[in-house]
Structure 1
Amino acid sequence: MKKSISLLSALVLSALLSPTALAQEEKTALVPLPSLDDFTRGEDGWAVGLGLGIEYESAYEGSDEFGFEIDPAGAVQWRKGNNIFYFAGEALGWRGLRNDVWLFEATVGFDEGREEADSDDGRLNGLGDSDEGAEFVLQARRAFNADWRYWLDGRIIAGEDGNIGLFGVGRRFGEQNDGTGSELAVVAVYHDSDRANKDFGITAAQSAASGLPQTNLSSGIRSVGLHYNYRQYVAENWLVFVEGLYEHYLGDVADSPITRNNYEAELGVGFIYLF
């Protein structure tokens, strides 16, 4: 019996000291948050991850119609120390870690806009199409300690048609430091009057064309929501992900004729291959 216990102890110790186990103890991601893709494995230089995701989501903001959409996933990244520069789809950005508990990020991207055809039921007829516009995103996250178990988030999205501010608090689950595991955040969203009316307002001309009442919104709180992220390696180079979002509209946004549902929701799953 003692021999069996000794053998078992040796096997356990061997497993704990194996390269795989030791690699799990190393902090390989810039920050160990599943909401932030990091394909660099802790090494300086280039890293590439490419894949696909499928989402079941609201057809547009405030829609009561849902559908599936397939989107590319992944990014091209270049790391130098505590800085990562990346290109992901239509976004070009930088993020940097400072003092182990501060993460800053700056991104230039695009707002996809909205088209009348986004509604199969004709809910947007007469409202016209809103064009894609450039956006500039500034973000700061502050962890309560270096393990990033709990963190605060502040983000400003400045665009040609108004601005949005997001403020949240999140919790990371799991012990991994490679960016896998799961994460849940609670977020409050504010917008100025320009952005509020771009997404949920109705001008006099749109009212005449659509038959919907003219609507003018002021700045203020837009919504509160939950955001869930999950990442997991299923092989050395294969990463699967799950993302969920629920945004509950408040105030004038919930009363807009465009808002057929007082919430927006989406659930996405997909995979990424790391080269």
Structure 2
Amino acid sequence: MIDVSNPRMIKVLMGSALSLFALAAMADDTLGLSEGLYSVGAPEVTQGTGVSTSPWRFALGAGVVNMPKYPGASGTKWEVVPAVSVNYDRFFLGANPDAASVLALGAYLYRDSNWRVGAAITYDFIEPRSESDDARLHGLGDVKRTAHAELFGVYTYQFVTARASVLTDIAGNDRGTVATFDLLGRYEPIPQLTLSAGPGLTWASSKYNETYFGVTSEQSARSGLPTYSAGSGLNQVRFSINGVYRIAARWNVGASASFAWLRGDATDSPITQKTSQITYGLFANYLF
């Protein structure tokens, strides 16, 4: 049985709620799911004493999310994402709410009652942007999937959780570096239900913004869009609302909605159709 009266368990469930609002924690489609729907985490299975019975933890599930077709798009798309994870002590593989990725391989460098600090290699599950997504993108080329190196830190105190991360492209696909910060407050009206909400922001490097919002002379000639250069800076601010419900000892279901606003050079890009972006979704997973 999962002991929900255990303070450690409450913090893990808080991490589950935190993972939901990462749907748009980064402007990149794939990294935006980066803190989210698919990655609700696997709470430790405990005995009545609160002592973990095994260093192994597993989660199996899936989610469905409606999100912008690409950063700055006016149209949306539906995506199905898995929630499969394997954890052994401080090491993890698959979906992880702290690393905020559906495909991650990493480890916690430090953990205590308040802090979780770790590093991971992550890979995009969803293709970030394709010319076929929208007529406006014709001639711009596809934004390729890539691998990222990530450092993350999560701090929880009572009903408040803060999360920060830095990710950088390590596969040479012009995806640059993004840094995020999010603050989440939690409320539990009943023991089985965790509600959470809070603000966040994303900073993006010039390489990232150029890839998603810039238009080179070659792209301009092919697409008909004017040339545009995008520099580094604040890329997005957001506010997210989430809910996680424990329907049984090992089953979680949840929903999330994130309201994001592009900022900086992303707002004036000829690629951008809409600066306000909404992402929402549902998930379910089984913990064992």
Fold match by TM threshold 0.5? yes
Question: Shift of the alpha carbon at 1:273?
Answer: 2.0
CA RMSD across the alignment: 2.4
Question: Shift of the alpha carbon at 1:96?
Answer: 5.9
1:226 aligns with 2:239: yes
1:56 corresponds in structure 2 to 66
2:18 corresponds in structure 1 to 35
Query: 1:136–1:273: structure 2 CA closer, same or farther, 3 Å change rule?
Result: same
The whole-number CA distance in structure 2 between the counterparts of 1:269 and 1:107 is: 26
Question: Shift of the alpha carbon at 1:141?
Answer: 2.2
Contact 2:164 2:181 in 1 (8 A): yes
Question: Shift of the alpha carbon at 1:208?
Answer: 0.5
Equivalent position to 2:222, from 192, 200, 209: 209
1:133 corresponds in structure 2 to 146
Runs of 4+, deviation exceeding 4 Å = 175-178
Contact 1:246 1:265 in 2 (8 A): yes
Contact 1:224 1:247 in 2 (8 A): yes
Equivalent position to 1:165, from 176, 179, 183: 179
Query: 1:166–1:272: structure 2 CA closer, same or farther, 3 Å change rule?
Result: same
Over the matched positions of the two proteins, sequence identity in percent amounts to 26
Contact 1:135 1:157 in 2 (8 A): yes
Query: 1:245–1:94: structure 2 CA closer, same or farther, 3 Å change rule?
Result: farther
Question: Shift of the alpha carbon at 1:92?
Answer: 1.6
The whole-number CA distance in structure 2 between the counterparts of 1:221 and 1:243 is: 24
Question: Shift of the alpha carbon at 1:53?
Answer: 1.1
2:82 corresponds in structure 1 to 72
1:85 corresponds in structure 2 to 92
1:151 aligns with 2:161: yes
1:182 corresponds in structure 2 to 195
The whole-number CA distance in structure 2 between the counterparts of 1:213 and 1:52 is: 41
Correspondence list, 1:195-274, <5 A = 195-274=208-287
**Deviation per residue, 1:66-100 (Å, 9 max, x gap):** 1222222232222x3xx352322422223366342
Q: Which runs of 5+ in 2 are unaligned?
A: 20-40, 47-51, 96-101
Question: Shift of the alpha carbon at 1:272?
Answer: 0.9
Contact 1:54 1:69 in 2 (8 A): yes
Structure whose CA Rg is larger: 1
Contact 1:154 1:167 in 2 (8 A): yes
Contact 1:28 1:177 in 2 (8 A): no
**Deviation per residue, 1:124-153 (Å, 9 max, x gap):** 11111121111112111233x3x3x12332
Deviates most, 241-250 or 125-134: 241-250
The whole-number CA distance in structure 2 between the counterparts of 1:93 and 1:177 is: 31
Contact 1:62 1:260 in 2 (8 A): yes
Question: Shift of the alpha carbon at 1:237?
Answer: 2.6
What's the TM-score once normalised by structure 1's chain length?
0.81
Question: Shift of the alpha carbon at 1:168?
Answer: 2.5
Deviates most, 160-169 or 256-265: 160-169
The whole-number CA distance in structure 2 between the counterparts of 1:231 and 1:157 is: 27
1:114 aligns with 2:129: yes
Correspondence list, 1:89-108, <5 A = 89-95=102-108, 98-108=111-121
The whole-number CA distance in structure 2 between the counterparts of 1:194 and 1:209 is: 21
> Match for 1:25: what amino acid?
S
The whole-number CA distance in structure 2 between the counterparts of 1:57 and 1:86 is: 25
Query: 1:39–1:32: structure 2 CA closer, same or farther, 3 Å change rule?
Result: closer
**Deviation per residue, 1:197-243 (Å, 9 max, x gap):** 01111111111000001110111111111133322211233211212
The whole-number CA distance in structure 1 between the counterparts of 2:109 and 2:256 is: 23
Q: Which runs of 5+ in 1 are unaligned?
A: 1-18
